[in-house]
Amino acid sequence: MSVLLIAEFDQQSLKAATRSAITAATQLGGDLDVLVIGHNVNAIAQQVAKVQGVTRVLVADDAAYAKPLAENFAPLVQGIAARYSHILAAASSFGKNLVPRVAALLDVDMVSEVTKIIDASTYVRPLYAGNLNATVQTSEVIKLLTVRPTGFTAAKDGEQAAPIEAIATLGDQSLSRFVSENIQVSERPELGTASVIVTGGRSLGSAEKFEALMSPLANKLNAAIGATRAAVDAGFAPNEWQVGQTGTVVAPDVYIAIGVSGAAQHIAGMKESRLIIAINQDPDAQIFQWSDYGLVADLFDAVPKISAAL
């Protein structure tokens, strides 16, 4: 049995989500090959080689792979798939875009957003905005999965470096073209991997008030800032801050929900947090049912006091 994992990285480094997926992959058993697809990715391949649990690094280096277009990546993965019992990636926007395309090329059904591996063919995944967990078993010859990073700890670097091997590339499939990207650079920790997150809801009232109240608190706590969909839709916070069923799924050590009602679609994205603290002026707010500590208070009064005291 051999497992193939598709790595995700930015210009500098391997994504933390991929390290979590490596941990999941090692739970499946067997050898673990990690595939690095990109252009001028030598340094990334070296980083991957050091990660504990990796047997071998495969590198597909081609100018056509400079940007992660699923149309170009998928045939490459398809081409080497027959050697593997499992092919997986993190359930990030990268993995979710790519793995189903590979699955269809291989004519197999996949399992998305795996949160737990029971054995090599049995997994747990959420349904209905996390209201239910399904245990599914697949009898496909090649099992394709995306794994939710919050379900698995990030694999650390080990003592030894795995061998690196170049593989043949297939070039541009001419179905799509990268135009541009707009990635927010921030001094703050990344939302998906931050150990503390402070999240604001619609009740913050405006982008200015969101910034004025949330930033000082986030700075004191070295926290990432999250937002509800209602806050994002109202234009108080950028979309990439959205936590939930359709936003980022997070599981920090501490999650602080401020003026958040606790709709199921929001809870779906944060209920695995180790400690949840909520401030809401409504004692019956749903969020309190999910909180370890709750405070009934007006956030415009409480939050500045907290920021000042810390």
Under 8 Å CB-to-CB from 133, ≥6 apart: which residues? 115, 124, 125, 126, 127
Residue 42 interface partner, choices ligand FAD, other proteins, none, CB cut-off 5-8 Å depending on type: none
Both tokens assigned to 30: 């067997």
Question: To 10 degrees, what angle do helices 93-105 and 70-80 make?
Answer: 50
200 in contact with other proteins (CB under 8 A): no
Q: How far apart are CA 307 and CA 310, in angstroms?
A: 6
Nearest distance from C-beta of residue 32 to other proteins, angstroms: 23
Stretch that binds ligand FAD, among 20-28, 179-187, 189-197, 223-231 (CB under 6 A): 223-231
Give how far Cα 245 sits from Cα of 129, 134, 263, Å. Answer: 6, 16, 10
Residue 168 interface partner, choices other proteins, ligand FAD, none, CB cut-off 5-8 Å depending on type: none
Q: Which of 26, 85, 242, 307 binds ligand FAD (CB under 6 A)?
A: 242
Nearest distance from C-beta of residue 160 to ligand FAD, angstroms: 39
Say if strands 116-119 and 122-127 run parallel, antiparallel, or are unpaired.
antiparallel
Site string for ligand FAD, 159-198 (x = CB under 6 A): ----------------------------------------
Output the DSSP codes for 235-286. Answer: TSS-GGGBBSSSSB----SEEEEES----HHHHTTTTT-SEEEEEES-TT-G
Enclosing H/E stretch for 121: none
- CA-based torsion, 268, 272, 278, 282: positive or negative: positive
Nearest distance from C-beta of residue 261 to other proteins, angstroms: 13
Q: Which of 96, 164, 172, 230 binds other proteins (CB under 8 A)?
A: 96
Q: Which of 20, 23, 92, 228 binds ligand FAD (CB under 6 A)?
A: 228
294 in contact with ligand FAD (CB under 6 A): no
Give how far Cα 92 sits from Cα of 9, 121, 124, 148, 220, Å. Answer: 11, 22, 17, 8, 28
Q: Which of 285, 291, 294, 306 binds ligand FAD (CB under 6 A)?
A: 285
Nearest distance from C-beta of residue 98 to ligand FAD, angstroms: 14
Whichever of 19 and 229 has its CB closer to ligand FAD, that residue is 229
202 in contact with ligand FAD (CB under 6 A): yes
Whichever of 119 and 282 has its CB closer to ligand FAD, that residue is 282
Nearest distance from C-beta of residue 152 to other proteins, angstroms: 17
Chain centre distance of CA 182: 18
Give the residue among 255, 266, 260 at the shortest CA–CA distance from 293: 255
Q: Which residues bind ligand FAD (CB under 6 A)?
A: 127, 201-203, 228-231, 242-247, 259-261, 263, 265-266, 269, 279-282, 285, 298-300
